[in-house]
Amino acid sequence: MTTNVETFQFQAEARQVLDLMIHSLYTNKDIFLRELISNASDALDRIRFEALSRPDLIGADEKLEIWLESDPKERTLTISDNGIGMSREEVVANIGTIAKSGTREMMQALREKHESSETLTTLIGQFGVGFYSAFMVADRVTLVTRRAGEDRAIQWESAGDGTFTITDSSKFSRGTSITLHLKKFEEDAEIEDFTNKWTIEQIVKRYSDFVAYPVIFKDKEGKEADKTLNSMKPIWTRPRSEVTDEEYKEFYKHISHDWNEPMETWSFRAEGRSEYQALLFVPSEAPFDLFYATGKFGLHLFVRRVLIMERCEELLPPYLRFIRGVVDSADLPLNVSRQRLQEDRHIAQIRKWLTKKVLDSLEEMQRKEAEKYVTLWKQFGRVLKEGAGFDFDNKDKLVPLFLFESSNDPEKLTSLKDYAGRMKSDQTAIYYLTGPSRRAVEHSPHLEAFREKGFEVLYMVDPVDEMFVQWQTEFDGKPMKSIAKGTADLGDEKSVEEKKPEFEKLTEALQKKLDDRVKEVRLSARLTSSPACLVVSEHDVSPNLEKILSQMKGEAAKQKRILELNPNHELIAKMRNHVDDAALDDLAEVLYGYAVLAEGSELQDPLKFNQALVRVLAKTV
């Protein structure tokens, strides 16, 4: 019996997802059952956890289970559980809308990539909207649920047409029941009959055999005994030799809600005074919110096979937040709280152990599977670099894992160790240049003398690199030096010093003309073909970091920089003859503007530069 019918509109983003679900063509429609069983398993985990502090929520002899019941005549399939259930407010919030974190990004991705069923499937899992996959196979979905501890049940129903209804309902003591009113079955359509017991059994075996609760097929007509379809063996407790790659892949999809396969699977076990085990996965792609402050990360924490926390951030340092998986401990109390976790010595011990295991595994992959490691690095390298700034205990393990672009090979990334092995005998430092992109830095005039001498230069083009070079001042006893800071120590300083007197009037005149923007004008040993470039003092921030900080904090005063001149360039030589000319104002403006543009920066006053350039060109013509 139902009363108090209310009709609601789906959130705009949810309507678009539903439309894609209903009208997109899928070859693997059976994934809907995996997602609904996974949701039921999560609900059972939650009631099991809440019952630790409220034992009255679960009866003394009650079993936690998931039931599947099909009705071929009515074309329905029902998935039920006696888990935590939902309140009326939770139903409206959780099923009427898309998860609020990243909604805009998700819809942008859907709009751009919805033509690919594989891509759309990935996005469904990535953005936590698996419930909507029911509409791939159902014309109508009816959900009845009752929150543990509440005295009324709620019925939710929708035909995927942009609206849903909420009514009061009668329901068993607690849990959720989802009935799919299946679309018409056509044998020649190459779509499985999801009311068929054998079909359902095969889907459960394929996707949900590892679920920790019984998945029971109930015979509606009572002709057969109820049958448990899954083995329920926690996959992380089984020897790796007894688990197939396919089982690991499906378990990863189950806990991560990522429908891509993992890139790597690691199984670890610690025995001794403390016992814990871990099954960890490296995703094949970075999640959309990897760099979002609102992103939710962490491993599933089990205590003696009871799920205590779904996202336990304390188990790994933040720079390993892309890792997915489970940790099961025998030493923690079942009712451990998040505050207690932050202080618990066992958690600190597990974190230290896990971090070492992960870094050792990454080092092994880098050494034995170089191409695979490069693939991993391109997805997660920016995150790993964050660790150099605060994980000092593991810095010696971390930094050798880092890869960089360089002038040595445009196609390959290099480690600091490999760079050091290629250094020339007369090279005194590991040289690098920071910037917003490879394209911006590889054409920089700062490279000219280094390239001519055959010195390799690392291209530091990730935003985090600007901080990394502050943290990492040397590697393997060799100093790290920016080629755009201080003076260029290339052995040519003596010849430059000898030319100072003949260019003294020019440098002084240019300093006077550009005093509001440069703190020094001097001759350069780092230029071979360009007339000028801009550098900063040894301890000043780079222009790229200055730009990043400005974007983060708003407009800030620009630091004055050093204008270096190439004494061997024809333009600079001719400018010596115009030191006292009125034309020097325009020449100074054009020369400074050229140096700014040559390094890939933006002009502060493009109009002033353009006017000066036109006047110089007019006089030249």
> Which tens digit of pLDDT belongs to each residue from 268-304?
998 777 788 999 999 999 988 888 767 788 999 988 7
Question: CA torsion, points 442, 444, 445, 451, in degrees to nearest 10?
Answer: -20
| pLDDT on residue 366 | 97
Provide the token pair at 401.
Answer: 């894992």
The Cα 143–Cα 180 span in angstroms is 9
Lowest mean per-residue pLDDT among 50-59, 74-83, 364-373:
50-59
Provide CB contacts within 8 A for 509, sequence distance 6+: 579, 584, 588
Provide the token pair at 458.
Answer: 């690392």
Q: Give me the mean pLDDT over the 78-89 stretch.
A: 94
Please count the helices (runs of H) and the strands (runs of E) in the chain: 21, 23
- Residue 540 pLDDT > 90: no
Residue with tokens 């329901």: 171
Report whether 150 contacts 88 (CB < 8 A).
no
The Cα 240–Cα 245 span in angstroms is 9
Report whether 275 contacts 329 (CB < 8 A).
yes
Q: Give me the mean pLDDT over the 89-114 stretch.
A: 60
Phi/psi for 594 (5° steps) reads -60, -45
Lowest mean per-residue pLDDT among 195-204, 280-289, 421-430, 484-493:
484-493
Strands (E) across 73-151 are located at 76-81, 138-146
Residue with tokens 């998700």: 106
pTM attached to this predicted model: 0.74
Report whether 251 contacts 260 (CB < 8 A).
no
Helices 370-386 and 345-368: crossing angle, nearest 10°?
140
User: In whole angstroms, how far apart are CA 183 and each of 85, 135, 136, 191?
Assistant: 27, 9, 9, 11
- Residue 398 pLDDT > 70: yes
Residue with tokens 């289970």: 65
- Residue 378 pLDDT > 50: yes
The dihedral through the CA atoms of 551, 384, 403, 478 has a sign that is: positive
Q: Which residues does residue 142 pair with via DSSP β-bridges, in sequence order?
A: 157, 179
- Residue 35 pLDDT > 70: yes
Round the average pLDDT of the chain to a whole number and report it.
85
Q: Which residues does residue 434 pair with via DSSP β-bridges, in sequence order?
A: 460
- Reported as a single tens digit per residue, the pLDDT across 484-512 is 988 877 766 778 888 999 999 999 999 99
Lowest mean per-residue pLDDT among 36-45, 67-76, 101-110, 135-144:
101-110
- Residue 471 pLDDT > 60: yes
| pLDDT on residue 5 | 87
Provide the token pair at 606.
Answer: 């493009």
Report whether 547 contacts 506 (CB < 8 A).
no
| pLDDT on residue 191 | 66
User: How many CB atoms lie under 10 A from the CB of residue 436?
Assistant: 16
Which of 35-39, 122-126, 568-572, 573-577 is the most confident on average? 568-572
Provide the token pair at 445.
Answer: 């005039």
| pLDDT on residue 187 | 56
Nearest-CA neighbor of 205 among 186, 224, 176, 233? 233
Our CA angle for 214, 219, 225, nearest 5°, is 70
Nearest-CA neighbor of 533 among 446, 613, 431? 446
Helices 12-23 and 103-113: crossing angle, nearest 10°?
30
The Cα 413–Cα 459 span in angstroms is 10
Report whether 507 contacts 565 (CB < 8 A).
yes
Question: CA torsion, points 507, 511, 514, 517, in degrees to nearest 10?
Answer: 110
